[in-house]
C-alpha cells in the first residue's frame, strides 16, 4: 500500500503537479494568443461592441494572469520570494475567472426564463454564494514556501472541500436551471438559437463534471497536499476555455444571422414569413425578425439586426448597415 505522506512519494507527486500545470499553462497561453483576434476585431470595430465582452475578457485574462503567476512562483525555485501574497493572487485570479464565467451563465438563465423574478433571484443568489465561498477560501488559505520542492505550496488544502463542493453545486444549479428553461421549448430546440443554447448547456454540464468532480473526490480522499491541488489547474483551463469558446460561438451565430429578439409590439406592421422583406419567427417569449427597408432615395438601407449574447441579459442591439 502506498504511503502518500512518504517524502519520496510527496516529491514525485509535487513534480507531477508542476509538470501538469506547466502543460496547462502552455495550452492556455496558446489558446489565448491564437484566439485574440476576436477581441481585436471588437477593438477595431470589425465586430459590434456588446457590454458582455467585458465578462468574456474577464474570464480569459484573469485565468491567464493566474497561470503566469503560477509559472513565476514555480520557476523561481531556490529563492524565498514573497510566497503568501503571490499564491493568494494566483488563486484569486482563478476564482475571479470562475466568477466571470458563471456570471455569463446567470445572464443566460435570466434571459431564457424571460426575466422571471423568482428565477432571476435564485440564479443571482446562487452565484453570490459561490463568490462568497471563494472569498472565504482565500481568507483561510495557508501558503508556505517549501524548501523540499523549492516552490510555494498550499498547506492543508483539504480544508477547501466545502468551497469546492459548494462551487460544484452552484454550477450544477445554474446549468440545470438553464436546461429546464430550454426544455420548455424542446419542440423548437432542433433549430436556430435554441439548438445552439441547448448544445452549449449540455457541453457546459459535461465540462463542469469533468473539471470539478475529480477535485471534490480527491479532497474527500485527502491523500496528500499535491493530490489535493492536482485538479485546480484543469478547472481553470477547462472552464475558462469552455466559457470563452461558447461565448464566441454565440456571437458568431449572431453575426451570421439577421434575427433579433423583439417584443410583439416591435414587429413591423405587415411582417410575415410570406413577405420577402419581413421575416418573423416566434420561439416562446422571444421573437425573431429581419427587416429590409428601402429609403427610396437611391441607396438601400438594410436594418440588419443580429442576435447576440446581449440577448442573455435581455437587451436588443441593432446594427444598421448601409450599402450602395
159-192 pLDDT, tens digit each: 888 999 999 999 999 999 988 888 876 665 555 7
Question: Which cell numbers hold the place of 174?
Answer: 445554474
**For residues 82 and 144, what is the distance between their CA atoms, to the nearest angstrom?**
10
Which pLDDT does position 191 carry in this prediction? 59
Q: Where are the alpha helices (DSSP H) in the chain?
A: 7-34, 37-43, 53-75, 83-112, 117-139, 161-183, 192-221, 225-229, 232-256
pLDDT of residue 323: 38
pLDDT in the model for residue 185:
67
pLDDT value for 135 = 94
Contacts of 267 (CB under 8 A, 6+ apart): 280, 287, 289
- Quick: pLDDT tens for 263-272: 444 444 444 4
- The whole-number pLDDT of residue 136 equals 92
Nearest partner of 145 among 86, 187, 91, 95, judged by Cα: 86
- pTM of the model as a whole: 0.75
Question: For residue 242, which of 31, 7, 30 has the smallest C-alpha distance?
Answer: 31
Contacts of 115 (CB under 8 A, 6+ apart): 314
Distance CA(99)–CA(132), nearest Å, equals 10
> What parts of the chain have a pLDDT lower than 70?
76-81, 149, 185-191, 254-324
Give me 132's grid cell: 462568497
Q: What is the pLDDT of residue 286?
A: 39
Distance CA(102)–CA(123), nearest Å, equals: 10
Q: Say how far apart CA 119 and CA 194 lie, in whole Å.
A: 19
Amino acid at each position: 500500500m502506498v504511503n502518500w505522506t512518504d517524502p519520496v512519494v510527496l516529491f514525485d507527486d509535487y513534480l507531477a503537479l508542476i509538470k501538469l500545470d506547466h502543460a496547462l499553462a502552455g495550452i492556455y497561453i496558446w489558446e489565448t494568443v491564437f484566439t485574440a483576434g476576436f477581441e481585436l476585431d471588437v477593438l477595431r470595430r470589425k465586430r459590434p461592441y456588446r457590454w458582455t465582452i467585458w465578462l468574456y475578457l474577464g474570464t480569459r485574462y484573469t485565468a491567464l494572469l493566474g497561470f503566469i503567476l503560477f509559472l513565476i512562483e514555480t520557476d523561481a525555485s531556490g529563492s524565498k520570494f514573497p510566497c503568501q501574497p503571490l499564491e493568494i493572487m494566483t488563486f484569486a485570479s482563478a476564482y475571479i475567472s470562475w466568477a466571470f464565467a458563471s456570471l455569463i451563465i446567470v445572464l443566460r438563465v435570466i434571459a431564457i426564463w424571460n426575466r422571471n423574478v423568482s428565477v432571476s433571484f435564485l440564479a443571482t443568489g446562487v452565484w453570490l454564494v459561490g463568490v462568497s465561498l471563494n472569498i472565504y477560501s482565500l481568507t483561510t488559505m495557508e501558503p508556505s514556501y517549501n524548501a523540499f520542492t523549492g516552490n510555494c505550496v498550499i498547506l492543508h488544502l483539504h480544508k477547501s472541500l466545502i468551497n469546492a463542493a459548494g462551487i460544484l453545486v452552484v454550477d450544477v444549479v445554474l446549468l440545470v436551471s438553464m436546461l429546464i428553461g430550454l426544455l420548455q421549448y424542446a419542440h423548437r430546440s432542433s433549430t436556430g438559437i435554441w439548438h445552439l443554447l441547448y448544445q452549449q448547456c449540455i457541453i457546459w454540464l459535461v465540462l463542469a463534471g469533468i473539471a470539478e468532480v475529480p477535485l471534490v473526490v480527491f479532497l474527500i480522499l485527502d491523500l496528500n497536499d499535491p493530490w489535493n491541488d492536482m485538479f485546480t489547474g484543469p478547472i481553470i483551463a477547462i472552464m475558462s476555455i469552455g466559457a470563452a469558446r461558447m461565448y464566441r460561438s454565440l456571437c458568431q451565430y449572431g453575426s451570421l444571422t439577421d434575427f433579433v429578439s423583439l417584443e410583439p409590439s416591435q414587429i413591423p406592421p405587415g411582417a410575415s414569413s410570406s413577405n420577402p422583406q419581413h421575416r418573423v419567427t416566434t420561439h416562446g417569449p422571444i421573437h425573431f425578425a429581419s427587416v429590409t427597408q428601402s429609403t427610396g432615395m437611391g441607396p438601400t438601407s438594410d436594418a440588419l439586426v443580429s442576435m447576440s449574447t446581449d440577448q442573455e441579459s435581455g437587451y436588443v442591439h441593432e446594427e444598421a448597415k448601409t450599402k450602395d
